Structure 1
Amino acid sequence: MRSSSGEVSGGARPPVKERPSDAASTVPKGVAQVIFQTSQWTGLIFIAGLFAGGWQFGVFGLLGTLAATVTAYLMGVAWDQVSIGLEGFCGTLTGVALALYLGANWMTAALVVGATVAGSVLTSAMGTVLKPYGLPASTGPFCVVTTVMAIGAPSFHRVWENRPDTAPPSATDPGTAMSWSDFWHGLLNGVAQVFFQDEWYVGVIFLAGLALASRFVAAVAAASSLVGLLIGWWLGAQAADIGAGLYGYNSVLTGVALAGTFIALSPVGAVYAAIGAATAAGLTAGLTNLFDVVGGHTLTWPYVLVCWVFLAAVPRYPKIRRAG
């Protein structure tokens, strides 16, 4: 798993040598790192989940991961960072998000490559700026690059003309009365939406991938999705949006990040992670409204902001410790 610095937990180690046999595993590991895992097998299951959601998400997710990984390698980033996927996961999300928002075409493919190259540079820059504060760049570079592209896209006819409809489900199905179908779909879609998928069976695939790496992490992801769903329901969010997992995925990332990845496991730490997951869900609606000018694309901003704040607060809380 990633540590609080965005690297693998553990003490200082000598640089890892490049091995051709490891090169092929960097891409699935990059996909796995979206939810803080280093297993190539988990990454392969995540990739299968993306293709189950739609061929375009699998293809563009892989394109983004590969472009980001190759860019980092060519720029001379340490192989022990590249080989475990830490330079690829923002590219994965960028590829999937742009395919979703702009459509699957050659123009989008070119934009994915350009965006991931820029995102790789931004990853290094943000890592340098945040390192003195012990904060990870996490998905921040993806959020910045994708938000900028979403803001600019309407100005370019060839980029914008074939975009799909990405309005939230509540646009055509308003109402706050949550049904049983909304509940169980929302629970699984909260995991699927980490990769911007809204099919419950994709959430099942992602949970299976997490369970292969760690049953504890899979349980935390499911529990965090439930927290996000319940917060959305309690506050009176639109039931169709809850069912689509829109209030769960930032809670999933926050819960997993704060429950053992960046924060050491403990009873108090578990409560801290649950509070973080609930906060991310509450922040989702506000940021969605703020980003309405770019189609309400909240991305993983709630997770990033909550994660930074909650990690920055740790030194003031003696009962909570950073992992690693």
Structure 2
Amino acid sequence: MGTDQQTLKDGEFVNSLPSVKNGEFVHLFTASLKGISQVILIENAISGLLILIAITIESYYLGIITLLSAIIGTLVAKAGGADGQSINQGLLGYNSVLTGMALVLFLSGPYRWIIALAGAAIAAVFTATMNHMMKRTEIPTLTFPYIILTWFILLSTYKLNGIRLSSDLVPQDLTHWKLNIGGEINLLNGILDGIGQVFFLDNLIPGILIFIAVFFAGIKLGTYSVVGSVLALFVAYFLGGEHTLIGLGLYGYNAILTIIAVSSVFKGEPNRFALLSGILAACLTVPITAGLSTFLLPYGLPALTMPFVLCTWLVLSARKIMPNL
């Protein structure tokens, strides 16, 4: 009798092992999806899944790299013994997502995916480093690790033959640069592509899905993302930006991230001027994007999300002295 009871308990214990493993996998997958959603400053696994679907619709290959980058970033954070809450919130995964995506898009060769996934792993460590360095300032790290890491890897292609740059990134001589503002702008495409360009996407359906993902996380966040995209489009047009770039949403994605960060995510204490400062910061991303893109032309580098980082840091740092901002 006693032996039978023990056998039953042992069987129950053995049968429970797969459920524990499955639970760990679900936990890892959920944290990874949140890492994807954290790219647009959202902690929501469903939003992350919608974004992943949008990316996969654009490219199955890019969708796989995105998911693997998110998982790698999460695993590196776990292996490194990072704070469990930060891992669960996806705060150590979003830079890995962007780094993996950027490197697989901006590098060439059959093995660029290896470099992209290695970059995703390094991005998680770099994010932890920056979080520690920025802790005393109370200013968020944002996407700075992804930007710097991606720029340096792309620049290394000029000295390392084993890493090859994509033919889409061509250094240009500023003395021969000509501004082309011809052509018409499709307003709807420009607005939708603005949110899509956060993830390097420029098609209608993925843009709609990503907007849905943001609205799912919160109506206010969704509204801010639309406002940011519209603002960038009209400011860029008013300032005489290239119509092609405006229509592709290349002036919009930094504005979207900035208005969400300044007006909602990092607004701090109740501040009735938070939306206004977010709008101004979003508008500022347009000339900064233009200036930074010009500065990077001789190196053939994309501006990425550096305008978002600079404008957000500008406002959040100013708030330390002028809290009404």
Under a length normalisation based on structure 1, what TM-score does the superposition of the two structures give?
0.86
Name the residue aligned to 1:214. Answer: 218
In the alignment, residue 165 of structure 1 is paired with which amino acid? D
Q: Distance in 2 between matches of 1:166 and 1:50?
A: 21
Higher relative contact order (CA 8 A, sep 6+): 1
Larger Rg: 2
Task: Select the residue among 62, 82, 93 that pairs with 2:67.
Answer: 62
Name the residue aligned to 1:234. Answer: 238
Q: Distance in 1 between matches of 2:170 and 2:215?
A: 32
In the alignment, residue 258 of structure 1 is paired with which amino acid? V
Task: Select the residue among 276, 291, 296 that pairs with 2:296.
Answer: 291
Conserved? CA contact 1:255–1:274, under 8 Å: yes
How many equivalent residue pairs?
296
Name the residue aligned to 1:203. Answer: 207
Q: Distance in 1 between matches of 2:303 and 2:222?
A: 24
Q: Could you tell me how far 1:194 is from its partner in structure 2?
A: 0.6
In the alignment, residue 235 of structure 1 is paired with which amino acid? L
Task: Select the residue among 77, 87, 97 that pairs with 1:72.
Answer: 77
Do residues 262 (structure 1) and 256 (structure 2) align?
no
Name the residue aligned to 2:86. Answer: 81
In the alignment, residue 305 of structure 1 is paired with which amino acid? L
Conserved? CA contact 1:130–1:137, under 8 Å: yes
Q: Could you tell me how far 1:110 is from its partner in structure 2?
A: 1.5
Deviant stretches of 4+, over 4 Å? none
Under a length normalisation based on structure 2, what TM-score does the superposition of the two structures give?
0.85
Conserved? CA contact 1:43–1:209, under 8 Å: yes
3-state SS, counterpart of residue 278 of structure 1: helix
Q: Could you tell me how far 1:167 is from its partner in structure 2?
A: 6.8
Q: Could you tell me how far 1:294 is from its partner in structure 2?
A: 3.3
Indicate the RMSD between aligned Cα atoms, in angstroms: 2.1
Q: Distance in 2 between matches of 1:180 and 1:242?
A: 7
3-state SS, counterpart of residue 136 of structure 1: coil
> Cα deviations across residues 44-102 of structure 1 (Å, max 9, x unaligned)?
00000111121222111122212111111100001111112111101111111112111
Name the residue aligned to 1:110. Answer: 114
In the alignment, residue 50 of structure 2 is paired with which amino acid? I
After superposition, residues 15-26 of structure 1 pair within 5 angstroms as 20=24, 21-26=26-31
Name the residue aligned to 1:37. Answer: 42
Q: Could you tell me how far 1:266 is from its partner in structure 2?
A: 4.1
Conserved? CA contact 2:65–2:117, under 8 Å: no
Name the residue aligned to 2:319. Answer: 314
In the alignment, residue 224 of structure 2 is paired with which amino acid? V
Percent of counterpart pairs with the same letter? 25
Conserved? CA contact 2:157–2:164, under 8 Å: yes
Unpaired runs of 5+ residues, structure 1, are: 1-18
